Amino acid sequence: MGCLFSKKSRRKSPKKDSALPAGDESATGNDLPETNNTALGSNSNQEAPKQYSWDKREKVDPKDFMLTGLKNETVGRLPGKLNGQQFVIQDCENCNIYVFDHSATITIDDCVNCRIILGPVKGSVFFRDCKDIKCVVACQQFRTRDCKKIDVFLCCATQPIIESSTGMKFGCYQYYYPELAFHFKDAGLSIFNNNWSNIHDFTPVSGETNWSLLPEDAVVLEYMPLPDPESEFKSVRISAEANRSIVPLTKGGRRTESEESCLFVFFAGDYTTANARKLIDETTTKGFVLIQTKEVSMRPEDVNRVFQNNAESLTEWITKGPVVALELNGDGVVEACRSIANEVFNGTKLFVSESKNTSSRDVDNFFNFADMQMGL
């Protein structure tokens, strides 16, 4: 638990003045050299002890950042209770656990038959020796070790890793509560960087599959119940509907039904996120499928490599911040995206594949670059 459980250092008390006789309380400043008069003067003349930053910190009770040894309970933390601290869940059985706040790291050990919702985690979420778990997780890094039968709706900025684990099933993150967008920002996570289906198995077994994807139509509420109306979490307005999810619902590594994809890129601006959401709504309403998204910074040489013939007109736009890219799939998607760009986003800084003959190359160029940039 790092700093939460470290012992405070004890400052040594000042040594007694050797000039004072032991046990002699009658000695006064007049009996001592003149230079000691100030030091031994009244309390009103003494300087206050120096205050350090760690002296002013609010005292933290480690128990506020742990859930341990619980059974058949609905527990967790409301928004504002963790504020980026580390958190531990251990030895829980048949519990519904709701953590509606952002945190630094979370470890879940020796839990059985639990339903767990975790707010955005700046670092890692690590499941160890757990089984029969259903969870919703957003984090920088996701890991499991010695686990069995975990179903997870995941948003992970890096490649999820499983080790000595079996029966693992993954789906795309789908969740909403009012503070969630701010918690993503506080945790330093982008809603567009989600590698939920790109699993790395450290301990593969020949002829066996340790992980798979949840059904494409999987619904969070079929796995994770809403908090009990009588619980302390009744005030949190929750939605698990895909169209309200903070994180866009992507197809990920599932097989696409069409060979035609389109690359749509928004360059940094005041409404980049809102524009990306608007595009998703416009295209999915028309029956197209969102495959993947990425938010990444680019340099001039990256623009030349990725956009090639269109690079010259795009280079100046990357100086404002990271770009948001989306891959959309379906027959006729390129023509539809170009039409949406003209009708809905006229005047917005963006790139859209010019034709279906070049769109696959556009998609490969951008997302290969993004994966390399992010170390995937």
Total tally of structural domains belonging to the chain = 2
What's the pTM value of the predicted model, to 2 decimals?
0.83
Domain stops at, among 196, 222, 248: 222
Q: Is residue 364 part of a domain?
A: yes
What residues form the annotated binding site? 123-124, 140-143
Query: Comparing C-alpha atoms, which of 279, 179, 175, 164 is closest to residue 227?
Result: 175
Domain stops at, among 222, 238, 271: 222
How far apart are the C-alpha atoms of 120 and 113, rounded to whole Å? 22
What residues form the annotated binding site for GTP? 123-124, 140-143
Q: What is the pLDDT of residue 308?
A: 86
Query: Which regions of the chain does DSSP assign to beta strands (E)?
Result: 66-68, 74-77, 87-90, 96-99, 106-109, 112-118, 121-128, 131-145, 148-156, 161-163, 166-172, 200-201, 211-213, 261-266, 289-296, 323-329, 350-352
Scanning the structure block, which residue is given the tokens 């301990």? 203
Same domain assignment for residues 217 and 260: no
Joined tokens for residue 137: 């997780």
| CATH number reported for the structural domain that contains residue 94 in this entry | 2.160.20.70
Q: What is the pLDDT of residues 165-218, one digit of tens each?
A: 999 999 999 999 999 999 999 999 999 999 999 999 999 999 899 999 999 999
Range of the domain at 149: 62-222
How far apart are the C-alpha atoms of 134 and 153, rounded to whole Å? 8
Q: What is the pLDDT of residues 139-166, one digit of tens each?
A: 999 999 999 999 999 999 999 999 999 9
Lowest mean pLDDT of 14-28, 122-136, 222-236, 254-268, name the range. Answer: 14-28
